[in-house]
Amino acid sequence: MSKDLKNILGVSSLPTEREVPGTIGVDGREFWYVEDDGKGDFNKLFPKLLTAITPPLHNSGGAITGGCSLTLPDGRVFHSISYKGDLAGWKEQVIQGAKELGLGLFQVRDDKVELIDGSCYLLSECEANFY
């Protein structure tokens, strides 16, 4: 099956390891990590984050979950999201939505996790979980 997939995709090999979202730049897309609210289901929290501020601050594009969580050395868990389209509008939607819900945010920059409150950790100090 993987040989057929390689032929379809026109590549000689398929990646075997996933990259932490945000560690590799993607033109036209931004990545953020949103703090878990501790209620057990990020798929329920995600739409709350995106609709906490109305009317929407973005004019185009969309947002998705990234299938990755990072646990910081202090034990807090954050889930990856990304968006495309109106980057400035989506950025404000995410930042203001997280603030409204009392959730932390961070972005991965180089080998660091930079929280919106200014604190910072090395990415290597965090535990990644892909789902």
Per-residue pLDDT, averaged over 39-67, amounts to 96
pTM: 0.86
- Give yes or no for residue 6 having a pLDDT over 90: no
pLDDT of the residue at 5: 62
Q: Are 115 and 104 in contact (CB under 8 A)?
A: yes
For the chain, the domains span 19-130
DSSP-assigned letter for residue 73 = T
Q: Are 58 and 90 in contact (CB under 8 A)?
A: yes
- Give yes or no for residue 3 having a pLDDT over 80: no
Which of these ranges, 26-30, 40-44, 54-58, has the smallest mean pLDDT? 40-44
Tell me the pairing of strands 29-35 and 77-85: antiparallel
Token digits of residue 96: 């203001």
φ/ψ of 124, rounded to 5, equals: -65, -15
Q: Which residues pair with 24 in a beta bridge?
A: none
77-111: pLDDT as tens digits? 999 999 999 999 999 999 999 999 999 999 999 99
> Which is more confident, 3 or 49?
49
Q: Kindly state the percentage of the chain with pLDDT values over 90.
A: 85
Q: Are 82 and 66 in contact (CB under 8 A)?
A: yes
Q: Of 16, 14, 15, 21, nearest to 128 (Cα)?
A: 21
Dihedral sign of CA atoms 92, 97, 102, 106 in order: negative
